[in-house]
Amino acid sequence: MDKATIKKYGTLLLLAAGAGIIFQLPYIRETFYVPIQNAMNLTNEQMGLLSADYAAMATLSYFVGGIVADKFSARKLLTFSFLATGILGFWFSTFPGYTVSRIIFVLMGVSTIITYWSACIKATRMLGTEEEQGRLFGLQEGLRGVLNAVLVFGMTAAFSAFADEVKGASAAIKVCSVVVIIIGILNYIFIEDTKKEENSESLIEVTKGMFKALLIPRVWLLVAIVFTAYSMYGLIGYVSIFAQEFYGLSQHLLQPLAVFVI
């Protein structure tokens, strides 16, 4: 195997690790729902609003993420995203007040979408030719799941090291934050700079293109498929919470389930 091939798939491995791990922090409230709820004395409604704050910001961020990725280096955007998300994770691990936590999740909606997602897609796309795109993105998704599971095992070990579930959840969040920051540093070292796209579309052009796409029937079929898949994914994410609340199972017993759910 030549150096170019090693570099290509090494970079793909790094991008896959980041793609799975960076989203652990904004979705950490699902993995450690009850410990976080107990630590901050929040109602189910307030926990739901943390999710809603992130989702609202993330949805808006998708509209401008591609424009940002075209105007700035993917390497710098990825590095910033990981470092910012890791710092926000450390902040949340202190379990600040409810209002501050809402701000943290809104900011994660920026750091994991506006500056990250489109830059990650662009960096992955540039690893190969058009004929290689399907294989590269498919391989990235597969590696993403495996590496994410490895991280969850590590977080589970950190959580289980404490008898107090609040301290355990805080430790698990810190472990995830450290890994996210390390990946950010590795991105800065190994990801190549990308040039600014001179002919990138404006937000108005992107919006017009989106509405044109919505006139295509096939697009609505794809929307229905993705919506159904993510709805089921979201419901499955609350299985452990249901088991705790209604069947009295402990978080320590249920935590390994997160490896297969997240």
Q: What is the pLDDT of residue 106?
A: 96
Say how far apart CA 12 and CA 16 lie, in whole Å.
6
Distance of CA 126 to the CA centre of its chain: 21
Q: Please, how many CA atoms are within 13 Å of residue 257, restricted to the half-sphere of its CB?
A: 19
Angle between helix 3-21 and 133-160 (nearest 10): 50
Residues 85-103: tens digit of each pLDDT: 999 999 999 999 899 999 9
Q: What is the pLDDT of residue 112?
A: 95
Domain ranges, residue 181: 3-261
Percentage of residues in the chain with pLDDT exceeding 70? Answer: 87
Residues 127-167: tens digit of each pLDDT: 878 778 888 888 888 888 888 888 888 888 898 898 888 89
Token readout for 240 is: 């452990």
| CB burial readout 230-242, b (16+ within 10 A) else e | eeeeeeebeebbe
Round to the nearest angstrom and report the end-to-end CA distance of the chain. 34
Domain count, the chain: 1
Q: What is the pLDDT of residue 95?
A: 94
Does 70 have pLDDT greater than 80? yes
Say how far apart CA 66 and CA 85 lie, in whole Å.
19
108 pLDDT band, cuts 50/70/90, is very high
Q: What is the CATH number of the domain that holds 60?
A: 1.20.1250.20
Say how far apart CA 40 and CA 221 lie, in whole Å.
41
